[in-house]
Amino acid sequence: QQQVKQSPQSLIVQKGGISIINCAYENTAFDYFPWYQQFPGKGPALLIAIRPDVSEKKEGRFTISFNKSAKQFSLHIMDSQPGDSATYFCAASTNSGGYQKVTFGIGTKLQVIP
């Protein structure tokens, strides 16, 4: 059972374009929604995160849009650059059985072409 559904699995965007990755969740107990960026040969690294009491968060060219009623959130990469080519994972965390756990989406492989 996939608790965090992520799409698309792969994405090709031209340099300067907008990259959009979407995620949806079912568990309303999720209270923290991070995005991770992973370059080949490296582990994922936290990119940006949002809490459900905020509808949008922006850090540089990266923006998270959050729709609590629809249980959806998305990552927008403005002015996409070849250096943004990586795999992006959305995630959600919640307390489960007294412990906080993080559930990841399946990942989106982004390729930004010059």
Partner 1 sequence: DVKVTQSSRYLVKRTGEKVFLECVQDMDHENMFWYRQDPGLGLRLIYFSYDVKMKEKGDIPEGYSVSREKKERFSLILESASTNQTSMYLCASSLLGFVGKLFFGSGTQLSVL
Output phi, psi for 68, to 5 deg.
-65, -40
CB 101 within 8 A of CB 93: yes
For the chain, what is the largest distance between any 2 Cα atoms, rounded to a whole number of angstroms?
47
Minimum CB distance to partner 1 smaller for 17 or for 38: 38
Shortest CB 57 distance to partner 1, Å: 14
Shortest CB 4 distance to partner 1, Å: 8
Q: How far apart are CA 56 and CA 33, in angstroms?
A: 12
DSSP type of residue 79: S
Residues near partner 1 (CB under 8 A) are 6, 9, 32-34, 36, 41-46, 49, 89, 91, 93, 97, 99-107
Shortest CB 66 distance to partner 1, Å: 14
Q: How far apart are CA 11 and CA 87, in angstroms?
A: 10
Minimum CB distance to partner 1 smaller for 38 or for 72: 38
Shortest CB 41 distance to partner 1, Å: 7
Minimum CB distance to partner 1 smaller for 10 or for 55: 10
